[in-house]
Amino acid sequence: MLIKNHMTVTCAPTNTAVVEVASRVLGLIEESSGGGSKKCFLSDVVLFGNEDRMGADGDLKRIFMESRVRRLRQCLMPGSGWTHCLSSMLSLLEHPVVQYERYIEGIENDIDEMVSEEKDVRDDLVTKTNKVQTSSRKEETKELQKKLQDIQKSIQEIERNKMSFMTHFQSNYKRLEKDLRSCVEIFCDDLPRSATSEENFCCMAEVLPLLNAFAELVQSESDERLRTLFESDGDGTDRSLFRNFLTHVHDGVSFELKQARSSCLLKLKHLCAHFELPELFDRRTIEEFLLQRAKSVLCTASSSYRLHYQQKAQPFEVLVVDEAAQLKECESLIPLQLPGVRQAVLIGDERQLPELVKSKVCDDAGFGRSLFERLTSLGQHKHLLDVQYRMHPWISKFPVESFYGVQIADGPNVLNRDYERMYLTGPMYGSDSFINIEGGNESTGKHDRSLINPVEAAAVVRILQRLSKESADKNKAVRAGVVSPYKGQVRAIEEKLTGVYRKHDGFSVKVRSVDGFQGAEEDVVIFSNVRSNTAGKIGFLADINRTNVALTRANHCLWILGDAKTLASGKTIWRQIVADAKDRGRFFDAKDDEDLSNAVIKAAIDLDQVESLLKFDGLRIGVSGGSRSGVRW
């Protein structure tokens, strides 16, 4: 759509889903910039929403509106932004000798004032010295002597710090070149391409290497020669370079310096004459400017209301809704009513989670129904996306067979052997595994009635600690996700994670509920089931849609943690999952991994669940008189 210049709005029901789409768009744009005549530009794409909830960090800040506004604002400020930098650089390149003479004149004026003050102090000192010295006059004399010394030191300091022509020029040039470079880079990345001509963008891109080349050539000249060259070359814009070439035919460096200076000035003067910036100084007007000129906007469906108030020269034509099966029909009306929208594309999966409606009355009335569901029920033709490019084949095998009737194939990227990853050693940590943790009894959390399983949480945290260490030791980037059906477990894991693993740039962790993870994906996903009881109750874990979402978030590794006995007790999808893991040799006990076993045992001891430890074969536990002793792990 960007290449074809179609104005597009892309929405999703949640921040998580929008961020995931934005990440993919960002990747595609970067790929397109590598070559080819038709390119897409980051500056034409805007992602907006609540900064805290969206959590747009890393590369996403390049298209996130709040971040873009902050960057552009510093370039648009009248006293310190682009216009100031450009005029200052032009003045320096055109009249470097004049600027230096003004600098020297200013220093001489300062020295003259100090010399005059020194004379006055000296005269005053002589007068007071000739008088009869009382104690008060002696004190005044000392003060005058100190003042005289301070003035003399200041004069010496000014003389000592006085810059040569070369130093003065380079100091100002480096400062202005840095500021100018920063503005150019921001404009190329953040200013919509429709804001000015393509010629101006090309001119900005060309001026940076010219400025850099000029700076290198300046360093090769002596102070005296550099000043002489600038004095003889006037304002540096003489286009008759052939005459200059004849003059300096025996001095290639000097000619190159003059040529570079002339080229820089021509480019900068072109920008000064033709690149007109809009007068935008406050955050709100810059935001409106960006939204009005963006070709592609990404936001949640509810946030798209803001686009109704934008006066766009070219209205949005296409609406794309991701995770459309999770978006309430009434909420989808917000982006659908945008002026100018002629085509809507709904992308969703009715086999995954619908929108959550807490009120039974509203649910019975169909309040949670999506437009996707309504159109499906009316017989609207659907196009099945029958190739998946996310999951390693071992991860996709069960969902494809159990939820999609083997209608989906694995893409060539996931079938490639390079797609397989081993983030931790041992068969337990392959592409997919079920790790059985018995005895981690479920309970209600301290914040609400949501269930938690502290022993499972401890196992999750220990695995994350090991992942972080491996990532740092091997300098390998890892994006880890922890998914649980219960918010209580999510909070428990987040609390345990505080300060217990090594944080570094190559390792990230996201802990969310199943609902919160819909639309997202990570390299490694650890799923904490939570349920562990003698009655075999698993609650809404039996929901097939919820299970489908949980099992399809991982790229390379999916590690399921749970109590197999509890999960396999009823006639639910989880009985099939446990059986499938056993059939394929992907079923493991936590006790088979010494490190993980130790973490589970320690958590059970901390919770005073000694009876749970008895389920770990091979432990030597002596219990006497109600106290525990002799525990080994």
pLDDT one-digit tens code per residue, 7-28: 999 999 999 899 999 999 998 8
> Who has greater pLDDT, 243 or 395?
395
CA 383 to chain centre: 33
Q: Is the pLDDT assigned to residue 250 strictly greater than 60? A: no
Mean per-residue pLDDT, 411-433: 95
| pLDDT band (50, 70, 90) for residue 367 | confident
Name the pLDDT band for 241 (thresholds 50, 70, 90): very low
Return the pLDDT at 251: 55
Q: Say whether pLDDT at 286 is over 70.
A: yes
Contact status, residue 483 vs residue 464, Cβ threshold 8 Å: no
What are the distances in angstroms from CA 252 to CA 217, 246, 257?
A: 11, 11, 9
Confidence of residue 623 (pLDDT cuts 50, 70, 90): very low
CA distances from residue 566 to 237, 540, 549, 574, 616 in whole angstroms, order as listed: 83, 14, 21, 9, 16
Q: What is the pLDDT of residues 206-221, one digit of tens each?
A: 999 999 999 999 988 8
- The arithmetic mean of pLDDT across residues 79-102, rounded, is 93
Spatial separation of the C-alpha atoms in residues 531 and 184, rounded to whole Å: 56
- Rounded Cα distance, 517 and 482, in Å: 9
pLDDT surpassing 80 at residue 35: no
> What's the pLDDT score for residue 57?
80
Tell me, what's the pLDDT at 619?
A: 46
As a whole number, mean pLDDT of residues 609-613 equals 55
Q: Which of 334, 510, 531 is nearest to 451 (CA)?
A: 531
Q: Is the pLDDT of residue 564 over 90?
A: yes
Q: Which long-range contacts (CB under 8 A, 24 or more apart) does 612-618 make?
A: 612/438, 612/439, 612/440, 612/441, 612/455, 613/439, 614/439, 615/438, 615/439, 616/438, 616/439, 616/591, 617/591, 618/591
Please tell me which residue, 261 or 31, carries the higher pLDDT value: 261
Are the C-beta atoms of residues 71 and 77 closer than 8 Å to each other? no
pLDDT at 231 over 90: no
One-letter amino acid of 351 = R
Q: What is the mean pLDDT of residues 111-134?
A: 81
Mean pLDDT of the chain: 87
pLDDT digits (tens, 9 = 90+) for 378-410: 988 889 999 999 999 999 999 999 999 999 999
Q: Is the pLDDT of residue 243 over 70?
A: no
Burial 70-85 (b: 16+ CB within 10 A, else e): ebbbebbeeeebbbeb
Which stretch of 75-84, 341-350, 362-371, 607-616 has the lowest confidence by average pLDDT?
607-616
Residue 625: what pLDDT?
A: 39
In whole angstroms, give the CA distance from residue 619 to residue 614. 7
pLDDT (tens digit, 9 = 90+) per residue, 581-609?
A: 999 999 999 999 999 999 998 888 887 66
pLDDT band at 528 (very low <50, low <70, confident <90, very high): very high
Label residue 583 exposed, middle or buried (CB < 10 Å: 0-12, 13-18, 19+): exposed
pTM of the model: 0.79
Among 25-39, 44-58, 89-103, the range scoring the smallest mean pLDDT is 25-39
- Say how far apart CA 300 and CA 12 lie, in whole Å: 5
Euclidean distance between CA atoms 255 and 340, whole angstroms = 57
Residue 252 or 459, more confident: 459
Mean pLDDT of 543-569: 95
- Give the whole-angstrom CA distance, residue 76 versus residue 186: 11
> Is the pLDDT confidence value at 240 over 60?
no
Average pLDDT over residues 116-126: 86
* Element (DSSP H or E) covering residue 531: none
